[in-house]
Structure 1
Amino acid sequence: MTACAIETAAEDGAVGRTGITITADGAYAARLAGGRDALFPERWTLGPEPYAVPLPLDQPEERETEVLPLADGRVLIRRRVAGLHALSLLYPTGPGTGELPLGAVESAELRLLPPAPDGRSAYALAPGAQSTAVWLVAGGAFGPEVVAEVPGHCSGGVWLDRAGQILALDRQLGGGPVKAVAVDLGRGGEATPLLQITDDSDDRLLLADLDSGLLLIRSNAPGHDRLGWGVLGSLRPVRFPECLRLADCAVTPFAVQPGQVLMPESCAVALRIDGAAGSWLGVWRPSGRQLHQLAAPDGWLAGAGLWSREGVLQLPYATRAVPCGVARIDGPADSLVPDVITDAKVITEPAPSKWPGGEACWGTGTHVVYKPVPLQQAPLTGGGATG
């Protein structure tokens, strides 16, 4: 349900960074708003009647500044100051903005991870020459602290449990292929293989849904980068749907429908599609074997949005007339009845082949065993791929 910040260019040049980040519970969002030379943090309160609260400080923010909303309505901000990464919490206070400094991190690179499931903590990734540090930058007792040191160069970042303890990272060791691993923050960063499609393939995890176990994956195992899907802890192979392969377009998933417990095939997935004509929306279900392509609402903060449990897709947008808005699209079954979006185009794909044998391996209680997702027996060609 989390949207990552994505830079886009506004037609009128008024907005330099239009990405927005949404909390795990969907209650708040934060972004950098304003003109190119006058950027300021802005917090959105989502819901039936969304509204935005500007959080400007004494000077404008740099374009590389990151903001992240917390579940209590405060906004974490990371700035580059005198060679350090300074971290603070921002909050509205009267007519102005309150700021609570948290400390600073000395690192060549520091990137905020997606909002943690608990809504109170915030983490950041600091890749180094031989290892990658995972920092707890908000929610700790004594300011920023390293909670894990993972061998290799790590990127990505997807939460795999609601406690905010198991984090999936895309890791590269010694110039080898990139493989997603499950990192246990409660054990100092103990890493367990998560994706092992082929020995030489780059296998990255893009999204994970905690209710159904649905995983969205990008891998070059089929010979070039393709979008695929699998199930966390399952013996079933990853699949690469042909309908998600669009010529001359980049397709990136950004939200998965929650609440489909143990039913990953029924989850609706929202995708950002980028092509020569701009950015637009795709909606797909593994069971449907169809990609619905839809025009995006005006001012969509491209690549941002979340699903409700009832299957309503919510897309944040900002225009001159509506500076803080959320467009909603109903997605019953596998057909779409857009509220604000029209001109749907459906692309179909071949009928699926039968799943190989194997049942899902789920842990008992709150403990889940994170096993690699296999693919040795899965089809890697378009003719055998299923939806």
Structure 2
Amino acid sequence: MTACAIEGETTGATATVEPLDEDPGEPGEPEAAVSGHGVPGNGLPGEAAPAVPSPLPPPPFTITADGSYAARLTAAPAAPGEDRAWYPERWTLDGPEPYAVPLPLDQPEERDSDVVPLADGRVLIRRLVADRHAFSLLYPTGPGTGELPLGAIECTGLTLLPPSPDGGSVFALVAGERSTAVWLVAGGAFGPEHVAEIPGHCSGGVWLDRAGRLLALDRKLPGRGPVKAVAVDLERGGEVTPLLQIAAESNDRLLLADADSGLLLIRSDAPGHDRLGWGVLGSSLPVRFPECLRPADVAVTPFAVQPGQMLMPESCAVALRIDGAAGSWVGVWRPAGRRLHQFAAPEGWQAGCGSWSREGVLRLPYAHAAAPCAVALVDAPADREEYRPGDPSDQAGSGAEPSAAPVPPVVCKPVPLGQAPLLGRLAPG
């Protein structure tokens, strides 16, 4: 089946995800609760799975900042011995029912192409042709797909940033030997535009405001030195301001930020080893590293923060991807709470992807043969205990303590934007 043979729209469905257990805090318990997800065999504890070649990870699934659209590369099933024909697919997520629109062209796409949805329903695609990264906008036109070429950038390495909060811009990083270029590849007037040149090697990419102006990058300066998150003002030619400085020699990366509440999700080795922590933009309080965010034998990565909690960072629900021997499942946690709630992921979950409603409902996109476009709903669970700054239980292993490592407390300014020219630009939009 070729890509151009796919037509029409695929409607989807919604489902509700159930929690793994009322108290999933014991090590090893999540593995048994989600047995069979992503593991050959039945996934029973202690049973060795047969050795099979590791499949390639699925192409990225990307959601707009407002959660209205998503895009991915997908492919129709192929006969044995035939190559799969990859094509872009756009998901509409903000209606009463999710549905997918295939966007194939005359020729199938390469599997390593990238797609990014825009808030107006168009999809940016990046194709690698020799040493050139070519960009186009795709959109449905009756029974076919329209394409608007935007131009190309000639370079050896390019990384697209997460969708801009303004809904109409897409930026990319191009790393050089001693600096990193920021390019506007969609949303400009004349094709790709060079926006800024940042000294050092930059990675990551987290938006700090709703206008698509302030961008946080994880930067390592030339030579030896730690990685530090910095804020970049794209309207001031890439003016750089320190963002995270937990300890002089610690590697401090920003993973997520919420413009409404100022909540920051951080990964740092300042406690003595790599830990997941949280702080508040502009706060003088230290970054905290909850013990409940490092369950045994799994990796925990945040991927979505509940919006709309104005000036209430402790109340934001945070969605986390949990990866272990049994596969991937979902965690939900609040800074105000004492627990990491864990849920089995729906079959075919686009792992690490999802978005929150303001009301605290987590939407998890998934796809499989019986449901090619669907969204599972998870209500943010209530926490019986709440965190209060200065509470004596902070020192009793409550999950809100600065660190469980036996190291002296670090006195720091985790987000020193109050002393920078960026002050006052982070009001919710």
User: TM-score per shorter chain, which class?
Assistant: 0.7 to 0.9
| 2:338 equivalent to 1:289 | yes
Give per-residue Cα distances to partners, 1:48-106, cap 9 Å, x unaligned.
20000011122222222110000100000011012100000000112111110000001
How many Å apart are 1:361 and its aligned residue? 9.3
Opposite residue 86 of structure 1, the aligned amino acid is: A
- Match of 1:252, SS state, is strand
Kept after mapping to 1: 8 A contact 2:75/2:85: yes
Distance across 1 between alignment mates of 2:241 and 2:424? 10
- Residue of structure 2 in register with 1:378 after alignment: none
Distance across 1 between alignment mates of 2:73 and 2:326? 25
Give per-residue Cα distances to partners, 1:293-328, cap 9 Å, x unaligned.
111011110000010000000000001111000101
Distance across 1 between alignment mates of 2:313 and 2:417? 13
- Match of 1:186, SS state, is helix
Opposite residue 329 of structure 1, the aligned amino acid is: V
- Residue of structure 1 in register with 2:79 after alignment: none
Query: Where does 1:34-183 land on structure 2 (aligned, <5 Å)?
Result: 34=75, 37-47=84-94, 48-174=96-222, 175-183=224-232
Distance across 1 between alignment mates of 2:38 and 2:199? 36
Kept after mapping to 2: 8 A contact 1:232/1:370: no
How many Å apart are 1:218 and its aligned residue? 0.5
Cα 1:263–1:52 change in 2 (3 A) is same
Opposite residue 355 of structure 2, the aligned amino acid is: L
Opposite residue 372 of structure 2, the aligned amino acid is: P
Question: Percent same amino acid among aligned pairs?
Answer: 71
**Higher Cα radius of gyration:** 2
- Residue of structure 1 in register with 2:304 after alignment: 255
Kept after mapping to 1: 8 A contact 2:59/2:111: no
Kept after mapping to 2: 8 A contact 1:29/1:46: yes
How many Å apart are 1:124 and its aligned residue? 0.6
Cα 1:34–1:122 change in 2 (3 A) is same
- Residue of structure 2 in register with 1:222 after alignment: 271
Kept after mapping to 1: 8 A contact 2:291/2:399: no
Kept after mapping to 2: 8 A contact 1:78/1:87: yes
Kept after mapping to 2: 8 A contact 1:233/1:370: no
More deviation in 219-228 or 151-160?
A: 219-228
- Residue of structure 2 in register with 1:200 after alignment: 249
Q: Residue 21 of structure 1: which of 47, 62, 70 is its match?
A: 62
Q: Residue 320 of structure 1: which of 357, 362, 369 is its match?
A: 369
Distance across 2 between alignment mates of 1:276 and 1:220? 24
TM-score (norm 1): 0.84
Cα 1:14–1:351 change in 2 (3 A) is closer
Higher relative contact order, chain-length normalized (CA < 8 Å, sep 6+): 2
Give per-residue Cα distances to partners, 1:188-207, cap 9 Å, x unaligned.
11110000011111100000
How many Å apart are 1:233 and its aligned residue? 0.8
Stretches of structure 1 that go unaligned for 5 or more consecutive residues are 1-7, 336-347, 372-387
Kept after mapping to 1: 8 A contact 2:243/2:417: no
Opposite residue 70 of structure 1, the aligned amino acid is: L
Cα 1:306–1:227 change in 2 (3 A) is same
Distance across 1 between alignment mates of 2:59 and 2:345? 15
Kept after mapping to 2: 8 A contact 1:76/1:90: yes
- Match of 2:371, SS state, is coil
Distance across 2 between alignment mates of 1:293 and 1:332? 10
What's the RMSD between the two structures over aligned residues? 2.8
Kept after mapping to 2: 8 A contact 1:16/1:34: no
How many Å apart are 1:228 and its aligned residue? 0.3
Stretches of structure 2 that go unaligned for 5 or more consecutive residues are 1-36, 41-51, 77-82, 385-395, 403-408
Give per-residue Cα distances to partners, 1:239-282, cap 9 Å, x unaligned.
00000112221110000000111110010000001111100111
Cα 1:79–1:352 change in 2 (3 A) is closer
Distance across 2 between alignment mates of 1:309 and 1:29? 18
- Residue of structure 1 in register with 2:46 after alignment: none
Q: Residue 211 of structure 1: which of 240, 260, 278 is its match?
A: 260
Cα 1:144–1:18 change in 2 (3 A) is closer
How many Å apart are 1:357 and its aligned residue? 12
Kept after mapping to 1: 8 A contact 2:60/2:114: no
- Match of 1:323, SS state, is strand
Distance across 2 between alignment mates of 1:172 and 1:14? 32
Give per-residue Cα distances to partners, 1:351-370, cap 9 Å, x unaligned.
64699999x9998xx97358
